[in-house]
């Protein structure tokens, strides 16, 4: 842990003075102008997370725990990470809830399938920011938005943007759990000591879930998210039970998996929707008729979901899910109360 401290201090000596301040001003000025939250932290290895991730069964991410916790593996010579947060409320809604007739089968879409694709929006912001900075100073950089091995929630916490909540999300004072993370790794050091430039060595972060939550904002006795989770993914701490995973995984769903997704057609917002930290109604339920989805073709999918984050898996996945939801409609109608 002390090694982190040493790296942080060593970093601080590298991009000194007016240069660094001017670059930091550009970053925080940009974030303010576009409604992003932002923090800058050092790029030392995420030692505390390494212990956890070593044993986690995380889908969609390479198993190599070093790649997942060492920023150097994403950008050689990385000195700091500019971590930006985009509130879901800053994303355009592209798909609306439909009027459903009595007894007409319907399913539920999560924010991933109804809002503008956060990957595209955050990448565009971080690219523009890198361009702005590079007009003042030469550097190497790497943009990460949900695509890389490096653990983004852990970096967001280190950058001081929020705390790790019991529903898994990093909850920020500005957006609650309703936001996305983008990281701009730089091979110059821009860390500093102001509110938005926290550079905490891991030793100062408390990752004991109960203590952290009690201190930072999850009431110790709150179980709203765990009780609302339809599959027990939070209590079992098994992401492979998470409906969000099941609706995005490739291949066929087993009988049990089909049943587990209930009414969810793509992604799942339940554990954030019920959270008292959640702001506004960005996660209100979006209900759509199953008849429009069970046979949707690539062109139809593209028209409806092409600009949302559901574009990642395409028409076949949502079609497969819609058929499973239709089957669930037949066997477990009580789960579909509006
Ligand atoms: C794989 C993945 C998934 C998987 C697995 C989710 C999971 N719980 O791990 C699936 C497909 C299920 C998924 C679902 C969702 N995801 Co996702 N996902 C990822 C991805 C690619 C990797 C996450 C990972 O490594 N998980 C392993 C677990 C162990 O780590 P973690 O939760 O990321 O990080 C925490 C631990 O390291 C913990 N920790 C550290 N030290 C210690 C020590 C101890 C003792 C303990 C207990 C914990 C602990 O602190 C970290 C912060 O909370 C990231 C992007 C990235 N590259 O990081 C996005 C990411 C985490 N997902 C995100 C989102 C928004 C979602 C969904 C809400 C999408 C949806 N609407 O369906 C759901 C929420 C599900 C949930 N309750 O977590 C956001 C989170 C934003 C935020 N504010 O927190 C990310 C960062 C993508 C992004 N750039 O915006 N996701
Ligand atoms: S996203 Fe849905 S299934 Fe996954 S942990 Fe949250 S409530 Fe449970
Ligand atoms: S619902 Fe309660 S326990 Fe769950 S994340 Fe929100 S505040 Fe924390």
Burial class (CB in 10 A: 0-12, 13-18, 19+), 193: exposed
As a whole number, mean pLDDT of residues 163-183 equals 93
**Looking at ligand 1, which residue's alpha carbon is closest to its atom 65?**
180
Question: Are 198 and 162 contacting, i.e. CB atoms less than 8 angstroms apart?
Answer: no
Phi, then psi, of 60 in degrees rounded to 5: 70, 5
Average pLDDT over residues 96-105: 92
Torsion angle in degrees (nearest 10) through CA of 104, 109, 115, 119: -150
Q: In what order do the strands lie in the sheet with 286-289?
A: 264-266, 106-109, 286-289
Tokens (6 digits) for 222: 């709150």
What would the mean pLDDT of 252-272 be, rounded to a whole number? 96
Q: What is the dihedral of CA 106, 107, 112, 115, to 10 degrees?
A: 20
> Sheet holding 179-186: strands in order across?
37-42, 80-87, 179-186, 141-144
pLDDT at residue 283 above 50?
yes
Mean pLDDT computed over 321-330: 94
Q: What is the 3-state secondary structure (H, E, C) of 180-245?
A: EEEEEEECCCCCCCCHHHCCCCHHHCCCCHHHHHHHHCCCCCCCHHHHHCCCCHHHHCCHHHCHHH
How many whole angstroms separate alpha carbon 307 and alpha carbon 289?
A: 20
CA-closest residue to ligand 2 atom 6: 271
| Alpha carbon 282 to its chain's center | 15
Q: Is 58 in the pocket of ligand 1 (CB under 6 A)?
A: yes
Q: Cβ(117) to ligand 1 under 6 A? A: no
> Nearest C-alpha to atom 73 of ligand 1 is from which residue?
244
Q: 273 CA to middle of ligand 3, Å?
A: 10
Kindly provide the b/e burial profile for residues 60-92, where b requires at least 16 CB atoms within 10 angstroms of the residue's own CB: ebeeebebbbbbbbbbeebbbbbbbbbbbbbbe
pLDDT of residue 332: 60
Q: Is 248 in the pocket of ligand 1 (CB under 6 A)?
A: yes
pTM: 0.92
Provide the 8-state DSSP code for 254: P
Q: Specify the pLDDT at position 194.
A: 46
What pLDDT is recorded for position 282? 65
**Using CA positions, which residue lies closest to atom 1 of ligand 3?**
275
Q: Kindly report the CA angle at 311 between 172 and 93, in degrees rounded to 5? A: 55
**Pocket probe mutation, ligand 3, options 222, 223, 271, 273, max atoms within 8 Å of Cβ:** 222
The pLDDT of residue 18 is: 76
């Amino acid at each position: 842990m002390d090694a982190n401290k040493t790296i942080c201090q060593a970093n601080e000596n590298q991009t000194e003075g007016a240069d660094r301040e001017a670059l930091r001003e550009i970053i925080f000025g940009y974030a303010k102008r576009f409604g992003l939250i932002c923090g800058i932290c050092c790029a030392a290895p995420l030692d505390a997370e390494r212990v956890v991730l070593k044993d986690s069964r995380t889908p969609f991410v390479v198993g190599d725990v070093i790649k997942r916790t060492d920023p150097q593996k994403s950008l050689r010579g990385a000195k700091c990470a500019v971590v930006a947060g985009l509130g879901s409320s800053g994303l355009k809604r592209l798909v609306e809830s439909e009027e459903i007739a009595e007894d007409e089968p319907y399913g539920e879409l999560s924010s991933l399938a109804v809002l503008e694709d956060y990957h595209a929006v955050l990448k565009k912001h971080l690219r523009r920011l890198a361009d702005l900075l590079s007009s003042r100073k030469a550097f190497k950089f790497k943009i990460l938005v949900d695509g890389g091995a490096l653990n983004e929630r852990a970096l967001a916490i280190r950058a001081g943007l929020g705390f790790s909540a019991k529903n898994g999300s990093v909850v920020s004072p500005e957006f609650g759990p309703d936001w996305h993370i983008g990281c701009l790794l730089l091979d110059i050091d821009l860390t500093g000591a102001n509110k938005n430039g926290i550079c905490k060595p891991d030793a100062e972060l408390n990752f004991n879930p109960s203590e952290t939550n009690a201190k930072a904002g999850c009431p110790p006795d709150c179980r709203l998210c765990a009780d609302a989770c339809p599959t027990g993914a939070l209590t079992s701490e098994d992401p492979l039970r998470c409906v969000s995973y099941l609706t995005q995984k490739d291949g066929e769903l087993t009988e049990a998996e089909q049943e587990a997704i209930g009414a969810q057609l793509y992604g799942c917002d339940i554990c954030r929707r019920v959270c008292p930290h959640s702001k506004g109604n960005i996660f209100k339920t979006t209900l759509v008729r199953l008849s429009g989805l069970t046979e949707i073709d690539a062109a139809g999918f593209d028209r409806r979901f092409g600009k949302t984050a559901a574009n990642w898996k395409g028409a076949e996945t949502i079609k497969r899910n819609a058929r499973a939801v239709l089957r669930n409609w037949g066997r477990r109608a009580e789960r579909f109360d509006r």
